[in-house]
Amino acid sequence: MQVAKRKLVKVGGVAIAAFLLLWIIGRLFAWGSCSWYGYQTNRDTRYAAFIGCLVRVDQQWIPRNELRVLQ
């Protein structure tokens, strides 16, 4: 019984670690994509973890996916 419990805890720990690693890789990709967008369009950009890519328009930071509404 004790061995099965240890194995379950080990598998759970590995699953959580894999999930966190994939999440971090996804955030790094999103940050790089935001930075690349700013470089290509010659605009000021910054990445906010829970909002996404922000672009400076008229002294305001606007989410990149809402730029079409403003233009």
Query: For residue 21, is pLDDT > 90?
Result: yes
| E-only strand ranges, the chain | 45-48, 52-57, 60-63
Domain of residue 32: give its range. 2-70
Q: What separation, in Å, do the N-terminal and C-terminal C-alpha atoms of the chain show?
A: 64
Q: Taking residues 23-36, what's their average pLDDT? A: 94
Give the pLDDT of residue 6.
Answer: 87
Which one, of 56, 26, 31, lies nearest residue 42 by Cα? Answer: 56
What's the predicted TM-score (pTM) here? 0.73
Distances (CA, A) of 13 to 25, 46, 70: 18, 33, 45
Domain count, the chain: 1
